[in-house]
Amino acid sequence: MLIKKPADFRYSEITPKSLYVNRRKFLASIPAAALAGHEMLSPSRRALAGTKLANLAKSPFSTTEKENPYKEVTTYNNFWEFGTEKDQPAVQAKNFRTEPWTVSVEGAVAKPRKFAIEEILKLAPLEERIYRHRCVEGWSIVVPWVGYSLSALLQQVEPTAKAKFVAFESYWDLRQMPLAKPEIAGLQFPYVEGLRLDEAMHPLALLSVGMYEETLPPQDGAPVRLVLPWKYGFKSIKSLVKIKLVGGQPPCTWNLANPPMYGWYSNVNPNVDNPRYSQATERRLGEFRRRPTLMFNGYADQVASLYAGLDLKKNY
C-alpha cells in the first residue's frame, strides 16, 4: 500500500480547513442543484487557505515578541486589489482563485523557468519566522510566517552578472479583482515592487507560503508572497506571479504614485518622516500605547551593512 507523505500531495489535493470543519453546515446551506456545479465544489478553483503546514523548523531570525492574534492579522489588511479600506480584503478576496498558480522567474538568469505552487512548497524546508512589521501609516504587527529565504528560489535560476535588481509583479485580473482599477484605487495595476539583488538575496527576505502554521488566506497574499521585515509593509508584495532579474532599478507602485511619501528603498527609519506621518513612534495593532520605532524595524544588526555609505535620508 502506497502512503503519501505531506510533501507528496499536490496543492489542489488538499481539502481546505474551512470545508472539512464546516462541511455539514456548508452542504446544508446550498441548494441540491448547486452541488452538481463544478465551479462550486472544485478545490482547484478556490483559494486553499487554512491548510495545516506540518514539520516546520523554527527560524533563528524569529523575534520573541508576542504575536498578534490570527483574527487581527487576517481582518485588518492593506491589499488594494481587494479594496482600499482595511476590512475590505477579507470580504472581497474570500473567493479568490489561487489554483493552478505559477510564478515566472526570468530576465538576467541562466535558467529561466516557471514554478508551480506545488514546486514552490517543496523547493526548500519550510520554517516558521516570527517577524515584526511596520506600516508607513504608523501601526505595527508581529506575525508568524511560514516559508524560506527568497534566495533559495533565485539560486535555482542562476542570476547572471547583468542582474543588479529584482522586479516583482502581483497577480491582477479584474474578473476576480473588480476594485483594482485606477479610478477606484488610485493606483496603477498590476502592483509592482523592486529590490536590489543583494537585498533580495539576504536571508531575512522571506518567500512566504503560509502564516500561523497554515497556508496563506487570500487577503494576506495567497498563495505566495514576499515578506521584508526591515522595510515598510507595502514593500512585501502579495500574490506573486512574476519575478524578473534586471540591470536597472525597477519601478515600484507606491513610489510611482507618491514619491515623497513612499521612497524606493522604504527602509524603516524613525529619523525620516513622510509628509503625512511621523515615523518616530508606532502603535502595535490591538494596543493603545505607542512605542519608539526601531531603526530597520529592529533588524539593524542583520541588514545595516547592506546600506553602508548610503545617505538614508536621501535614499529613503
Task: Give the strand order in the sheet containing 165-170.
Answer: 113-116, 102-107, 240-246, 165-170, 192-196
| 38 is a domain residue | no
| 288 is a domain residue | yes
d(CA 107, CA 123): 20
Residue whose C-alpha is closest to residue 148's, from 235, 81, 25, 53: 53
d(CA 269, CA 311): 12
d(CA 157, CA 145): 24
| 40 is a domain residue | no
**Contact, 210 vs 143, CB < 8 A?**
no
**Contact, 198 vs 205, CB < 8 A?**
no
Nine-digit cell string for 171: 497577480
| 253 is a domain residue | yes
| 290 is a domain residue | yes
88 by Cβ neighbours in 10 Å (0-12 / 13-18 / 19+) ranks as: middle
| 2 is a domain residue | no
| 23 is a domain residue | no
Question: What CATH number does residue 282 fall under?
Answer: 3.90.420.10
Residues of the domain holding 174 = 57-307
pLDDT of residue 50: 78
pLDDT tens for the chain, residues 1 to 316 = 343 443 444 444 444 444 434 433 433 433 333 333 333 333 333 445 679 998 999 999 999 999 999 999 999 999 999 999 999 999 999 999 999 999 999 999 999 999 999 999 999 999 999 999 999 999 999 999 999 999 999 999 999 999 999 999 999 999 999 999 999 999 999 999 999 999 999 999 999 999 999 999 999 999 999 999 999 999 999 999 999 999 999 999 999 999 999 999 999 999 999 889 999 999 999 999 999 999 999 999 999 999 999 999 999 9
Phi, psi of 119 (to 5 degrees): -70, -40
d(CA 240, CA 237): 7
pLDDT of residue 39: 32
| 275 is a domain residue | yes
| Total tally of structural domains belonging to the chain | 1
